[in-house]
């Protein structure tokens, strides 16, 4: 294991000016530059933001950030700022102005809002916008982070280079409202190499080597499962944060994929559970499957959740964690839950209805993914599939920061596959008030669901399609 990103703040004074400014200067020329220096005891961070040319009118930050900062300064003058909900209006500033602020983590921790900041052992995990305040997303930004000795930094931002004094990053230009998490502390950032990606895994808190190794094996297996869709992982260097939560009733308390500044998966885990319990859980496979798509609008959550819910079962069959029959059984049971959770209104409307419609939203989307996969395989004689469609998508359309609507994504997938399969599924099901009828799908595939127990029929017309879905 490599202890990554460890910087010694003290060294900066001993460096010549030439050395200090050589490595990052070229990239810094046409971008705003944010430098962040963390206090030795991690009680606060001091931030400088120098604008390239004209300063922006607005700065974006966490809506609560003001409570833990004593304001924004230009030289020694405190700026008069206005605005709310995290969008603040700056006064007119000279060109190439540098402004600065500090964020006090100790007071923020007293709020006991774990979404904002939490402590694990001597390590901190926080919402980046607690101190990472930036201009509009059309302004390129470079970030230089200086850490106390022996501390590591976990971030979704792409790492550019690292000197003895600081590490440089380039965050993706994503909307200001997109979340991101930063962790700082004595943990190790473990690199997991898989085809197409270097996963940057961090698990803050006082964890044993065995616990860290368990997390590494679990995350690697889940990532490799997604890699099996088309041979490489769809995102080049996602941040993975595994946050220990102590003894709980379930192994995985929660998980999400977030995309602010870069792709990240955050998983809340009972660190005492055995590896087998983590690897037999569907959650991590589900989360990493989300990374097969760019960001889909929350209005069309049925599509992103449908894709992840479909693949969480298919991929576990492909790497032997489920048998073919078990995987079909799980899909069948999911569709049954979706049907039970359908209470009128269209799928589009249900997507806006919150938790009561969760099952309908997730499993209607998964049903559409199965139908698309089956039709692609059938009409192309096995040359195309949902896997190959996603491979094509990975070559054209994964830029982080864009929000896709489902109609647009389905049109794109139709174009990539040279079919109308996706848009006709959209037309049939997204405005329908009932759960997709799966009876003919089961019949074609040879999935007998009598007495709610799946059994497979090898003489069915699309039995080979059925087998190839689960074999990859």
153 or 293, CB closer to Zn ion?
293
Q: Phi and psi (nearest 5°) for 28?
A: -75, -15
Is 291 a binding residue for Zn ion by CB under 5 A? The answer is no
131 or 288, CB closer to Zn ion?
288
Query: Could you say which residues in the range 297-316 bind Zn ion, by CB under 5 A?
Result: 305, 308
Alpha helices in 386-458 (DSSP H): 386-396, 406-417, 421-429, 439-445
Residues written for the chain: 472
33 or 291, CB closer to Zn ion?
291
Helix/strand number for the chain, H first, E second: 14, 22
Taking the complex as a whole, the smallest distance from the CB of residue 348 to Zn ion amounts, in Å, to: 18
Determine the size of the site formed for Zn ion (CB under 5 A).
2
Taking the complex as a whole, the smallest distance from the CB of residue 286 to Zn ion amounts, in Å, to: 5
Partner residues linked to 384 by β-bridges? none
Are residues 442 and 448 in contact, defined by beta-carbon separation less than 8 angstroms?
yes
Long-range CB contacts (within 8 A, 24+) of 428-432: 429/347, 429/364, 429/367, 429/368, 430/302, 430/346, 430/347, 430/348, 430/406, 431/346, 431/347, 431/348, 432/346, 432/347
37 or 305, CB closer to Zn ion?
305
For the window 42-81, what string marks contact with Zn ion as x by the rule CB under 5 A? ----------------------------------------
Taking the complex as a whole, the smallest distance from the CB of residue 366 to Zn ion amounts, in Å, to: 11
User: How many other CB atoms are there within 10 angstroms of residue 124's CB atom?
Assistant: 22
124 or 314, CB closer to Zn ion?
314
Helices 358-379 and 421-429, interaxial angle, to 10°? 150
147 or 241, CB closer to Zn ion?
241
> If DSSP codes are grouped into helix, strand and coil, which group holds residue 287?
helix
Residue partners of 383: CB distance under 8 A and separation at least 6: none
244 or 306, CB closer to Zn ion?
306
191 or 403, CB closer to Zn ion?
403
Taking the complex as a whole, the smallest distance from the CB of residue 304 to Zn ion amounts, in Å, to: 7
205 or 234, CB closer to Zn ion?
234
Taking the complex as a whole, the smallest distance from the CB of residue 257 to Zn ion amounts, in Å, to: 7
Query: Could you say which residues in the range 307-366 bind Zn ion, by CB under 5 A?
Result: 308
For the window 135-164, what string marks contact with Zn ion as x by the rule CB under 5 A? ------------------------------
Chain position carrying tokens 């994503």: 174
Taking the complex as a whole, the smallest distance from the CB of residue 287 to Zn ion amounts, in Å, to: 7
List, as one string, the DSSP characters of 77-102: EEP--EEETTEEEPPP--TT-EEEEE
Taking the complex as a whole, the smallest distance from the CB of residue 289 to Zn ion amounts, in Å, to: 8
Distance CA 306, CA 310 (A): 6
Q: List the one residue out of 261, 259, 255, 227 whose CA is nearest residue 242.
A: 255
Q: List the one residue out of 123, 291, 274, 145 whose CA is nearest residue 211.
A: 274
Distance CA 199, CA 191 (A): 6
Taking the complex as a whole, the smallest distance from the CB of residue 398 to Zn ion amounts, in Å, to: 18
DSSP 400: B
Taking the complex as a whole, the smallest distance from the CB of residue 351 to Zn ion amounts, in Å, to: 13
Chain position carrying tokens 């693949």: 311
Q: Phi and psi (nearest 5°) for 457?
A: -115, 115
Distance CA 13, CA 29 (A): 24
105 or 311, CB closer to Zn ion?
311
Taking the complex as a whole, the smallest distance from the CB of residue 342 to Zn ion amounts, in Å, to: 19
Taking the complex as a whole, the smallest distance from the CB of residue 296 to Zn ion amounts, in Å, to: 11
Distance CA 459, CA 457 (A): 6
Distance CA 315, CA 229 (A): 8
239 or 283, CB closer to Zn ion?
283
Are residues 40 and 27 in contact, defined by beta-carbon separation less than 8 angstroms?
no
104 or 305, CB closer to Zn ion?
305
Residue with the CB atom nearest Zn ion in the bound state: 308
Taking the complex as a whole, the smallest distance from the CB of residue 160 to Zn ion amounts, in Å, to: 31
Chain position carrying tokens 């492909």: 318
> If DSSP codes are grouped into helix, strand and coil, which group holds residue 130?
helix
Binding site for Zn ion (CB under 5 A): 305, 308
């Amino acid at each position: 294991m490599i202890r990554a990103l460890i910087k010694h703040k003290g060294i900066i004074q001993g460096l010549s000016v030439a050395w200090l400014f050589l490595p990052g200067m070229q990239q810094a020329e046409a971008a705003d530059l944010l430098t962040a220096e963390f206090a030795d005891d991690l009680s606060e961070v001091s931030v400088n933001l120098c604008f390239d040319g004209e300063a922006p009118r607005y700065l974006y930050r966490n809506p609560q950030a003001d409570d833990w900062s004593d304001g924004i300064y230009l030289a020694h003058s405190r700026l008069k700022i206005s605005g709310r909900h995290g969008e603040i209006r700056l006064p007119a500033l000279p060109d190439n102005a540098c402004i600065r602020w500090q964020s006090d983590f100790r007071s923020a921790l007293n709020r006991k809002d774990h979404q904002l900041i939490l402590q694990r052992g001597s390590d901190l995990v926080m919402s980046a916008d607690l101190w990472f305040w930036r201009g509009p997303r059309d302004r390129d930004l470079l970030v230089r982070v200086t850490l106390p000795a022996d501390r590591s930094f976990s971030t979704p931002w792409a790492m550019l280079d690292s000197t003895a004094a600081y590490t440089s990053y380039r965050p993706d230009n994503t909307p200001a409202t997109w979340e991101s998490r930063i962790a700082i502390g004595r943990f190790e950032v473990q690199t997991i190499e898989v085809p197409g990606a270097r996963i940057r895994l961090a698990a803050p808190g006082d964890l044993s080597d065995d616990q860290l190794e368990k997390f590494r094996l679990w995350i690697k297996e889940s990532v490799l499962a997604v890699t099996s869709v088309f041979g490489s992982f769809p995102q080049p260097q996602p941040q993975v944060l595994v946050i220990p939560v102590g003894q709980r009733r379930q192994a995985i308390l929660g998980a999400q994929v977030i995309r602010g500044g870069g792709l990240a998966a955050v998983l809340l885990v009972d660190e005492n559970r055995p590896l087998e319990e983590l690897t037999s859980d569907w959650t991590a496979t589900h989360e990493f499957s989300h990374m097969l798509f760019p960001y889909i609008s929350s209005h069309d959550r049925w599509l992103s959740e449908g894709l992840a819910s479909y693949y969480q079962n298919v991929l576990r069959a492909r790497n032997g964690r489920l048998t073919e029959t078990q995987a079909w059984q799980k899909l069948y049971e999911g569709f049954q839950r979706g049907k039970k959770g359908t209470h009128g209104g269209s799928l589009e409307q249900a997507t806006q209805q919150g938790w009561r419609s969760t099952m309908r939203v997730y499993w209607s989307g998964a049903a559409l993914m199965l139908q698309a996969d089956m039709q692609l395989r059938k009409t192309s004689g096995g040359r195309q599939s949902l896997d190959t469609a996603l491979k094509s998508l990975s070559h054209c359309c994964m830029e982080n920061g864009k929000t896709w609507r489902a109609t647009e994504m389905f049109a794109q997938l139709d174009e990539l596959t040279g079919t109308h399969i996706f848009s006709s599924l959209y037309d049939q099901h997204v405005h329908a008030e009932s759960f997709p009828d799966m009876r003919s799908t089961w019949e074609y595939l040879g999935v007998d669901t009598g007495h709610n127990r799946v059994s497979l029929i090898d003489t069915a017309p699309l039995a080979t399609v059925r087998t190839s879905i689960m074999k990859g």
